[in-house]
Amino acid sequence: MAKHLDAICHRKDGGFALAGSSLTGNTWDGALWLFNDWDHYINCPNIELEAFSTITGHNDITWLNQSKLLVAADSGDIEIWDVIAPGNMLSCDSALYGGHDDMVLTVCVPKVKEEKEGESIVSGGGDGRIVVWDVSTAKVVCKYRAHVGWITDIDYHPSQPNVFISTGLDQTLRIWDTRQSSPVTMSLKAPHHANCLCVSWSKYEDNFIASGDEAGYLYLHDLRLPVNPNASPFYYRLHSNAVHRLSFSPTVKGLVASVSDDSTAKLFHFPTQTTVFTSSSHADFVHGLSWQQDSTSFLTCSWDFKVYRHEFNESMIPDPVTPSVVPLTVSEMQDDSLFENFVDEDTVHAEADMAKGKGRERERKRDKTEGTDCNGMNESLGLNGKQGQAALETNGGTHSDVGLAK
């Protein structure tokens, strides 16, 4: 039985679909579920009996419209499932073939419709290709060699149906405009120490994009800033394991939901830089996340074969405070010694005061050459005087997440 739930997606009317894979047995098959609403799910006497079995596993699902569900399959195809009423049944009578040479990992539908005829969607696969499809003709419009390695996620611009962003295992994010002869309009080299797994474009502020990596970090990219290899986006250590999926709230500005392989679901509020909600209800990897249309509630699904509903309210957001964290530069993030020898600033000052009180004579006799060497090391690390002295004085301290993302 396909009990490893990997994807969940809402329809506009509040109904939702689930997709899962078995991951065991002689064949790696899967299953789909369709529910009219949350009450339909919680009152279902036997979830397993509601499943529509498939011969392949699934990685992602999304609604093309109220009656058609697109399924990214391990077979390399995009299956099109029709909702049959009455009875709330699913039937797969067609598919999009020939676009990918490996499994399809993500499929995305524009958030606004194009003026021209046709229904364009985009998919990304394990072959490193992005494929733009015309669903009305079931034909490939164009293919792009997009990333080195798997393409892990794609999300459309909130108001431009020809613009989308992709991310992959090459630690990059790329913005595409299919109207251009050279469709890659921007390439962001995120300072990820790990592969990027998910991306989401803000609905209310289209200059902001959030991404998550397999080390548990959440990044906020401001597209108004120039692409600078020595500058990093804001980042936060939100999870202790891979961030598998994230999505901006459809109703609350600056609020993003994320799910992780650490079995948690969280809400992070960017304006206050605060984790306002954490759920540890799941007992296994959490891979599916979906906001209900124009609502403050979202659903999550997991490999524990459970679906949970989570509610947000405005009282969760604290009063605005002045941020106390300055993001590191890329060169600083890539210097492992900083991560190994980092302690918070209060501790550094306390240790410095003790050293001054106990060893003033030793300070007076310090060789001038040693001071010159310290300044040279500060410049090579890209640190200011206080940060450089802290890194040298700690010499063997431990790095904590508090220093990165509080």
pTM, entire model: 0.75
Q: Report the relative pairing of strands 274-279 and 286-291 from DSSP bridges.
A: unpaired
175 touches 184 (CB < 8 A): yes
Query: Which helix H or strand E contains 265, and what residues bound it?
Result: strand 265-269
The pLDDT score that the predictor gives to residue 172 is 86
189 touches 174 (CB < 8 A): no
Task: Give the domain-ending residue among 285, 316, 347.
Answer: 316
What is the pLDDT averaged over residues 32-50? 91
Do residue 386 and residue 251 come from a single domain?
Answer: no
Do residue 101 and residue 245 come from a single domain?
Answer: yes
How many domains is the chain partitioned into structurally? 2
Tell me if 322 is assigned to some domain: no
Tell me if 348 is assigned to some domain: yes
What is the pLDDT averaged over residues 211-225? 89
CA of residue 68 relative to chain centroid, distance: 25
Higher pLDDT, 338 or 66: 66
What is the pLDDT averaged over residues 397-403? 35
The pLDDT score that the predictor gives to residue 324 is 46
Domain hosting 262: range is 4-316
Tally of CB atoms within 10 A around 159: 12
Higher pLDDT, 8 or 50: 8
Taking the C-alpha atoms of residue 277 and residue 275, their distance in angstroms, rounded to an integer, is 6
Indicate the SS3 state at residue 207. Answer: coil
Q: Give the highest mean pLDDT range of 185-199, 311-325, 355-369.
A: 185-199
What is the pLDDT averaged over residues 71-100? 89
% pLDDT > 90, the chain:
49
Indicate the SS3 state at residue 54. Answer: strand
Query: How far does the chain reach from its first CA to its final CA, in angstroms?
Result: 42
Task: Give the domain-ending residue among 265, 284, 316.
Answer: 316
Taking the C-alpha atoms of residue 240 and residue 366, their distance in angstroms, rounded to an integer, is 43
Q: Is the pLDDT of residue 287 over 60?
A: yes
7 touches 61 (CB < 8 A): yes
Q: Give the highest mean pLDDT range of 24-28, 353-357, 394-398.
A: 24-28
Do residue 146 and residue 52 come from a single domain?
Answer: yes
260 touches 216 (CB < 8 A): yes
Do residue 366 and residue 302 come from a single domain?
Answer: no
Alpha-carbon distance values, 263 to 129, 162, 218, 302 (Å): 30, 35, 16, 8
Give CA angle at 63 (130, 309), nearest 5°: 115
The pLDDT score that the predictor gives to residue 61 is 96
Do residue 262 and residue 385 come from a single domain?
Answer: no
Query: Over the chain, what is the mean pLDDT?
Result: 80
What is the pLDDT averaged over residues 205-217? 92
Do residue 266 and residue 376 come from a single domain?
Answer: no
Q: Is the pLDDT of residue 104 over 60?
A: yes
36-45, 93-102, 310-319, 329-338: the lowest-pLDDT one: 329-338
Indicate the SS3 state at residue 333. Answer: helix
Do residue 306 and residue 349 come from a single domain?
Answer: no
What is the pLDDT averaged over residues 164-169? 93
Task: Give the domain-ending residue among 259, 287, 316.
Answer: 316
**Domain holding 78: CATH number?**
2.130.10.10
Taking the C-alpha atoms of residue 209 and residue 200, their distance in angstroms, rounded to an integer, is 6
The pLDDT score that the predictor gives to residue 398 is 37
Tell me if 72 is assigned to some domain: yes
The pLDDT score that the predictor gives to residue 290 is 97
Taking the C-alpha atoms of residue 394 and residue 163, their distance in angstroms, rounded to an integer, is 47
The pLDDT score that the predictor gives to residue 116 is 58
Do residue 296 and residue 348 come from a single domain?
Answer: no
55 touches 29 (CB < 8 A): yes
pLDDT band for position 399 (50/70/90)?
very low
92-96, 238-242, 307-311: the lowest-pLDDT one: 92-96
**Helices within 60-194 (DSSP H only):** none
Taking the C-alpha atoms of residue 103 and residue 101, their distance in angstroms, rounded to an integer, is 7
198 touches 245 (CB < 8 A): yes
Query: Which helix H or strand E contains 373, and what residues bound it?
Result: helix 368-381
Do residue 11 and residue 140 come from a single domain?
Answer: yes
Do residue 198 and residue 296 come from a single domain?
Answer: yes
Strands (E), 281-379: 286-291, 297-302, 307-311
CA-wise closest residue to 118 among 128, 106, 130, 109: 109
12-16, 131-135, 270-274, 386-390: the lowest-pLDDT one: 386-390
Do residue 292 and residue 161 come from a single domain?
Answer: yes
Q: Please give the structure tokens belonging to residue 72.
A: 């990214």
Do residue 385 and residue 312 come from a single domain?
Answer: no
305 touches 262 (CB < 8 A): no
- What are 126-162's pLDDT values in tens digits? 999 999 999 989 999 999 988 888 999 999 999 999 9
Amino acid of residue 45: P
The pLDDT score that the predictor gives to residue 189 is 72
Tell me if 269 is assigned to some domain: yes
pLDDT band for position 163 (50/70/90)?
very high
